[in-house]
Amino acid sequence: MRFTSSATLQTLRGFELSPRAITIVPKAAHYRQRLLDMIAAAERRIVIVALYLQQDEAGQEILDALYRAKAARPVLDIVIVVDWFRAQRGLIGAGKQPGNSAWYCAERQRQGLDVPIYGVPVQTRELFGVLHLKGSVIDDCVIYSGASLNNVYLHKFDKYRLDRYHLIHSKPLADAFQGLVQHVLDSKAANRLDLPSPPTSRSLRADIRQLRTSLKRMAYETFQASDSAEGLRVIPLLGVGKQNPLNRTICQLVAASHQRLTLCTPYFNPPRVLIDEINRALVRGVVIDIIVGDKIANDFYVPPEQPFSVSSVLPYLYEKNLRNFAQKHQQAIAERRLNLFVWNDPGHSYHSKGIWVDERYTLLTGNNLNPRGFRLDLENALLIDDPKAQWAAERDQELEQIKQHVSRVEHFDQLQAFDEYPKRVRRFLQRVRFTRIERLLYRML
């Protein structure tokens, strides 16, 4: 499929905003404090949605704040939504663990208050899709970030994982977010994780399949939105499965670029349809910036001296993709029509994702712009349309902040080649190639 016009973007329904309605929080530690402050001040509703709420110091801090808010205002409507499978397993490589759901149950019993925590499965197995929705609601503010809730994402101690953090004050948008979450929770597949004896995943298979089918037809309610594309507005998007509305909009954004296009992703593995649009943008003269994480800034990276695990191969796969892409486009890199920026703040990790198009469009999303995000996970996004450049200064400032720790790839051979990888990584990648499952593997990442 080829996307050639920006007309479709201008017909999307969005909620009108003033520039003052959007606040960008610059750092993870600031975001943690802002989240805690907003929970404490909440008067009517709190809807927290994340891939996971982790049992660690930052997770405990958030959960305690929610229970305190409920104790102070019993009528406060609080709902927490996480991925069903992720909540019931331990950390990868950490051995057998009970998962966060056991902690949720213990905290509910200890606190003696009803703060429901729901798990939502979007596939019958975690490998084939997770709840990757982003965006929480506190009263009439939508808090949008790709960050989950744990020590590193919230910079509780010495390490942080860079993400994007936006607060959008809009009652119609907040209502649309809460309405969507409620539609998801109405499914029989969604169940409480803070109550003892939740149903088994096996017993929910039929309900999960029915939920996934309904999700493909689901969308944000936009009856309060506007069709006008004359002023600043925010457009909520939802997508799961192939050729969904969010995927189409992402490709349409790239196709609509005329002067400059910027993409952020921590995992460089773009689907073919997106690569094709990037290549077409280069041909028509668009200057393209792509900001990715260095492999050692990847959350799956494991130093060579530490025990090997299959997941530790992933950063090398992403770097291999980036090197091949850079080699193919070396002339464009030399002419500075293509700028590949690698982010690395030693000791920290990178999780930013999004798209900036010319001086008009900014996409906030948790979608990693990879095959998994385009086919398997339940994803969403907020598209900010700014035809009069009312929000241009704040937009540019955020991009500059993201670029604080980047270096430009001047030549593809700056990136490690296969024969420079650790022996166990090379051996695994060779085995994958020999068994001919490499192509399938990339579609799952």
Active site residue 329: no
Domain boundaries, the chain: 18-215, 232-444
C-alpha separations of 23 from 46, 137, 169, 394, 437 in Å: 19, 14, 8, 9, 44
205-233 pLDDT tens trace:
999 999 999 999 999 999 888 777 789 99
Active site residue 155: no
Q: Which of 56, 83, 107, 132 is catalytic?
A: 132
**Average pLDDT estimate for 386-415:** 97
Which pLDDT score, from 0 to 100, does residue 27 have? 96
What residues pair up with 239 in beta bridges, in sequence order? 379
**Average pLDDT estimate for 401-419:** 97
CATH architecture of the domain with residue range 232-444: 2-Layer Sandwich (3.30)
Which pLDDT score, from 0 to 100, does residue 8 have? 80
pLDDT of 97 above 70? no
Q: Where are the beta strands (DSSP E) in 345-431?
A: 349-350, 354-357, 361-365, 379-385, 406-408
Same fold, 18-215 and 232-444: yes
Q: Which of 163, 294, 319, 398 is catalytic?
A: 163
CB atoms within 10 A of CB 443: 15
312-322 pLDDT tens trace:
999 999 999 99
Spatial neighbors of 329 by CB under 8 A, at least 6 apart, are 282, 338
Indicate the fold that domain 18-215 takes in CATH: Endonuclease; Chain A (3.30.870)
Of 316, 303, 288, 274, nearest to 415 (Cα)? 316
Active site residue 348: no
Spatial neighbors of 355 by CB under 8 A, at least 6 apart, are 250, 253, 254, 261, 262, 263, 264, 361, 362, 363, 365, 369
Q: Which of 351, 377, 385, 398 is catalytic?
A: 351
153-199 pLDDT tens trace:
999 999 999 999 999 999 999 999 999 999 999 999 999 999 999 99
**Average pLDDT estimate for 22-38:** 98
pTM, entire model: 0.95
**What single letter denotes the amino acid at residue 123?**
Q
Which pLDDT score, from 0 to 100, does residue 311 have? 87
Terminal-residue alpha carbon distance, the chain: 22
Name the 3-class secondary structure at 224: coil
Q: Which of 379, 385, 386, 398 is catalytic?
A: 379
241-288 pLDDT tens trace:
988 999 999 999 999 999 999 999 999 999 999 999 999 999 999 999
